[in-house]
Amino acid sequence: VYSAHIDVASLNWWNKLEKQNQDLLKEAMCEAARYQRADNRTKNEARLTMLKDKGMQVEENPDISSFRSQVAELKTIDLYKNPQVQKLLLKVLEATR
């Protein structure tokens, strides 16, 4: 998973925090994630140029539909049928917006 910002904490520790502190941490984490995504976007072109200059081959126009068709069957495995897994995946997707 690529993410500009990942936060990890013990649920036991989190549950001991007062709601006000949980809210402050959530707000700070969201703000930090937005900042890091924006910072990454502004630096992407320079980083890509540097990698190309060092010999990295970059596919500028990837065949996304081919990729999607190749991984489409992954949605049918039992793990993804689990409601808890589906809920978690939706939370991850929402957090990346």
Task: Render 58-91 in DSSP notation, one character per residue.
Answer: --SS--HHHHHHHHGGGGGSHHHHSHHHHHHHHH
> Is there a domain that residue 5 lies in?
no
Say how many domains are in the chain. Answer: 1
Residue 30 CA to its chain's centroid (Å): 12
Residues 6+ apart with CB under 8 A from 62: none
> Is there a domain that residue 3 lies in?
no
Domain that includes residue 29, residue range: 11-95
Q: 14-51, pLDDT tens digit by residue?
A: 999 999 999 999 999 989 988 988 888 889 889 999 99
Q: How far apart are the C-alpha atoms of 30 and 24, rounded to whole Å?
A: 10
Q: How far apart are the C-alpha atoms of 68 and 81, rounded to whole Å?
A: 19
Provide the whole-model pTM.
0.52
Mean of per-residue pLDDT scores for the chain: 86
> Is there a domain that residue 4 lies in?
no
